[in-house]
């Protein structure tokens, strides 16, 4: 039986970053792309309907997020994550990465240090360095097949110029959904060191059955006062090409500092389509999300079985959250450049190469599971042909 997520839709010719630019980024054509984190699925029907209605209207003048947009986000966070937001905490921003960049500018000085926990979403380090701040790495530790945070190393890494720490929760690319005690230990160290926590929770809704996302700032009032949280409907509902995000800052002083930087780059106008789509998604997208999560879980299980049978040297890490599988290829014994070349050139599959995510990424590949099973199967068959013994 084919279900709603099984349908293969040709995305070529839509200016899709994932499907239309392989020549520009790899020099190769005809690749099957399972790299950048968007999905090969249409957005929920209610979102498409809201967009059609908005497009039918035909006028796309300057737009501001209506109050109903913020209310929809607040209702969603309370319903899905038990976090009661207050309206004045919320600031709209163009996207999560630009908002993180603005938070770095607003809440630290040139030359200050910002902690990240690699292997981690690579734009974090770029946002820090390109804004003239320096990266302090607190690498995750891999115990067996589970990643954890290195609290001892973190405490030792905090110096007089360390101002911020960026948390990826759930963690891209290792797929962890952080537990309460882990978040509490991290929070305690950050609070003691006087660090502001930038909590990127863009993947918060993409948590597989059996796991629960805990918003960092919901853990205590003290922590809320020193946390900036980044949210968006774009990852959950596959709206990245429309943009838009929400920044949650409970502390009035931090909020003023962030807002002043936000205003300095003149980002006061909203995207008319993004606003309509995100609001519809938060209001009506929950049943679709439940179906999506079941499909992603089944894709992950398919991947696990396939690797066990056909590519036993490759080991995929347990997936708790995100739709990004983190695959340990070290047993192949290939240097990174060779592994990458084999996957791209011999298999014709485009994955995200582990070393991009920083220390700890060597020998790993990140595979995007948010595609029809037929696409996943085809990619895995190609990989088996190129990497199998």
Instruction: Using CB under 6 A, list all residues that contact ligand PLP.
Output: 37, 95-97, 121, 168, 172, 200, 202, 232, 234, 240, 245
Is the Cβ of residue 37 or residue 189 nearer to ligand PLP in the bound state?
37
Pairwise CA distance, residues 95 & 28, whole Å: 29
Q: Which is nearer to ligand PLP, 174 or 316 (CB)?
A: 174
Please state the closest distance from residue 309 (CB atom) to ligand PLP, in A.
30
Q: State in angstroms the smallest separation of the CB of 305 from ligand PLP.
A: 26
Shortest distance (Å) from residue 30 CB to ligand PLP: 24
Q: How many CA atoms does the CB half-sphere of 77 hold within 13 Å?
A: 28
Q: Phi and psi (nearest 5°) for 131?
A: -100, 15
CB of 168 to ligand PLP, least distance (A): 5
Chain centroid to CA 193: how far? 26
Phi, psi at 272, each rounded to 5°: -60, -40
For ligand PLP, the closer CB: 217 or 307: 217
Distance CA 136, CA 133 (A): 10
Nearer of residues 200 and 353 to ligand PLP, judged by Cβ: 200
186 vs 240 by CB, closer to ligand PLP: 240
Nearer to ligand PLP by Cβ, of 102 and 202: the residue is: 202
Minimum CB separation of residue 261 from ligand PLP in Å reads 16
Q: Within 13 Å, how many C-alpha atoms sit on residue 309's CB side?
A: 8
What is the rounded distance in angstroms from the CA atom of residue 196 to the CA atom of residue 210?
Answer: 30
Of 95 and 355, which has the nearer Cβ to ligand PLP? 95
User: What is the closest distance, in whole angstroms, from the C-beta atom of residue 204 to ligand PLP in the complex?
Assistant: 10
Minimum Å gap between C-beta 193 and ligand PLP is 23
The C-alpha atoms of residue 331 and residue 378 are separated, in whole angstroms, by 23
Q: CA 190, CA 184: separation in Å to the nearest integer? A: 10
Residue number with CB closer to ligand PLP (44 or 243): 243
CA distances, 138 to each of 263, 272, 325 (Å) = 32, 40, 22
Beta-strand runs (E) in the chain:
32-33, 90-93, 113-116, 134-137, 141-143, 146-148, 162-168, 196-200, 227-231, 245-248, 315-316, 324-328, 349-350, 352-353, 364-368
d(CA 35, CA 42): 18
Q: Which is nearer to ligand PLP, 211 or 330 (CB)?
A: 211
**Burial 132-161, CB ≥16 within 10 A → b, else e:** ebebbbbbbeeeeeebebeeeebeebbeee
Q: Is the peptide bond before 119 cis (omega within 30 degrees of 0)?
A: yes
Residue nearest to ligand PLP (CB): 95
- What's the min distance (Å) between Cβ of 234 and ligand PLP? 5
Q: How far is the CB of 152 from ligand PLP (least distance, A)?
A: 25
Tell me if residue 270 falls in helix, strand or coil. strand
């Amino acid at each position: 039986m084919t279900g709603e997520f099984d349908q293969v839709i040709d995305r070529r010719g839509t200016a899709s970053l994932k499907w239309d630019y392989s020549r520009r980024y790899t020099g190769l054509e005809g690749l099957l792309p399972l790299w950048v984190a968007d999905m090969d699925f249409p957005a929920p029907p209610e979102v498409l309907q809201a967009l059609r209605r908005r497009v039918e209207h035909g006028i796309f003048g300057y737009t501001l997020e209506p109050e109903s947009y913020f209310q929809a986000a607040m209702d969603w966070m309370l319903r899905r994550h038990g976090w009661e937001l207050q309206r004045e905490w919320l600031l709209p921003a163009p996207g999560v990465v630009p908002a993180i960049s603005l938070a770095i500018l607003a809440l630290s000085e040139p030359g200050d240090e910002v902690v990240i926990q690699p292997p981690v979403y690579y734009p974090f380090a770029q946002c820090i360095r390109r804004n003239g701040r320096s990266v302090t790495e607190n690498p995750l530790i891999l115990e067996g097949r589970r990643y954890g945070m290195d609290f001892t190393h973190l405490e030792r890494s905090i110096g007089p110029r360390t101002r911020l720490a960026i948390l990826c929760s759930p963690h891209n690319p290792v797929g962890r959904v952080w537990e309460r005690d882990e978040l509490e230990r991290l929070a305690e160290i950050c609070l003691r060191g006087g660090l502001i926590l930038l909590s990127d929770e863009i993947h918060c809704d993409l948590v597989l059955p059996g796991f629960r996302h805990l918003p960092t700032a919901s853990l205590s009032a003290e922590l809320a006062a020193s946390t900036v949280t980044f949210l968006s409907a774009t990852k959950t509902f596959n709206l990245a090409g429309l943009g838009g995000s929400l920044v949650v800052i409970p502390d009035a002083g931090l909020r003023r500092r962030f807002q002043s930087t936000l205003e300095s780059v003149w980002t006061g106008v909203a995207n008319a389509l993004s606003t309509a789509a995100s609001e519809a998604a938060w209001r009506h997208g929950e049943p679709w999300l439940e179906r999506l999560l079941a499909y992603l879980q089944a894709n992950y299980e398919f991947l696990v079985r396939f690797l066990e049978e056909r590519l036993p040297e490759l080991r995929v890490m347990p997936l708790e959250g995100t739709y990004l599988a983190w695959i340990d290829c070290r047993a192949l014994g290939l240097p990174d450049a060779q592994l990458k070349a084999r996957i791209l050139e011999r298999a014709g599959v485009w994955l995200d190469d582990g070393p991009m995510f920083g220390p700890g990424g060597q020998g790993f590949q990140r595979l995007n599971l948010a595609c029809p099973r037929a696409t996943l199967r085809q990619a895995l068959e190609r990989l088996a042909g190129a990497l199998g013994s």
